[in-house]
Amino acid sequence: MNRRQFVWGSLAAAAGVAARRSVAAPLLKFGHRQANMEVEPGPGVFDLAKQIPGLSGVELQVFFKGTTLWDKEVLLGYKNAAQKTGLEIPSIAGIWPPKAGLPQPTAEEHIRKSIVAAEALNAKAILIACFEQNCPKMDDEKSYGPVVTLLQNVAGQARDAGVTLGMETSNSPAEDRKLIDLVDRPSVKVYYDLFNVERYKHTNEAVPGIALLKDRIRQVHLKNDDKLLADPGLVDWAAAAKGLKAIGYSGWFVFETAHHSQQEVVEATRKNIKFVTDHFKA
């Protein structure tokens, strides 16, 4: 082999390695919850999001500071702003108006209307929050049975709309798994919030819960109160990132960090994106 052949052979080998690494490296998708971005209602939230390197979308609230996505003009304003900025709406949250919730008779109506809104916005997930007294008790069939039936009833509409219903609860990961398995519909999964797992006293269960839930996780919330993910807190976020990588998670990461200003939204989210990316790809 002459020198020229050796050089070209080395370059080809290096390119092959790089290509393999490129294929193996996951494409991480980051969004931010509208309600935590220190903004007033309206399309301007996308202009703020556009300032954050690595942020690809905004999770909108169905009900937000006196406005609602039930209003067609409000919905279209957000949709047009997302298209204009090139950002996505990965999910919608905040689907309950005051005094409403999963146990209420109006729950099915609110979920069905949220599915219609999500489809119109091309959002692929809906966060269905149910905490404490609004959360089904998984050791009591009288509590969880009606919730299972409700979710089965709306699952078909969600499936047809290309939407997944993501359950965010105050239960333990094992109880979330039980709920999802009882519903047994591909369009109903877990919206996993590791911080809430610890906050609701399921101590040291958040990171192990990743493997326990595995294919049942549709989307993930990231937060550490008003601190960076790298700071000490209830969750070991470095371990969480590695745990999510280990199960092959490829969904959206949506920040729910508390901020004190729009400047902090930009700066903290940029740092948090780097933190997750570095540990996920390590």
> Residue 282 contacts by C-beta under 8 Å, 6 or more apart in sequence?
242
Q: Which CATH class is domain 28-280?
A: alpha beta
d(CA 124, CA 251): 10
Q: At what angle do helices 237-246 and 206-213 cross, to 10 degrees?
A: 10
Residue 55, judged by CB atoms within 10 A of its CB (0-12, 13-18, 19+), counts as buried
Cβ neighbours, 10 Å, residue 77: 17
d(CA 132, CA 171): 8
Q: Which residue has the tokens 């080998």?
A: 13
d(CA 190, CA 169): 9
- How do strand 63-64 and strand 67-68 relate by DSSP bridges? antiparallel
Q: In this predicted structure, what is the pLDDT of residue 14?
A: 47
Max distance between CA atoms of the chain, in angstroms, equals 80
Query: With contact defined as beta carbons under 8 Å apart, do 278 and 245 qualify?
Result: no
For residue 89, give both structure tokens: 């709406």
Q: Phi, psi at residue 253, to the nearest 5°?
A: -105, 120
DSSP string, 43-64: THHHHHHHTSTTEEEEEEESEE
d(CA 213, CA 179): 11
For residue 137, give both structure tokens: 């008790």
- How do strand 63-64 and strand 252-255 relate by DSSP bridges? unpaired
> Residue 206 contacts by C-beta under 8 Å, 6 or more apart in sequence?
173, 194, 195, 197, 198, 234, 235, 240
Q: In this predicted structure, what is the pLDDT of residue 22?
A: 40
Q: In this predicted structure, what is the pLDDT of residue 282?
A: 79
Tens of pLDDT, residue by residue, the chain (282 residues):
555 554 444 444 444 444 444 444 458 999 999 999 999 999 999 999 999 999 999 999 999 999 999 999 999 999 999 999 999 999 999 999 998 999 999 999 999 999 999 999 999 999 999 999 999 999 999 999 999 999 999 999 999 999 999 999 999 999 999 999 999 999 999 999 999 999 999 999 999 999 999 999 999 999 999 999 999 999 999 999 999 999 999 999 999 999 999 999 999 999 999 999 999 987
* Nearest CA among 125, 122, 93 for reference residue 110: 93
CA-to-CA separations, 239 to 119, 230, 236, 273, in angstroms, rounded: 34, 11, 5, 15
Query: With contact defined as beta carbons under 8 Å apart, do 135 and 107 qualify?
Result: no
Domain locations in the chain as residue ranges = 28-280
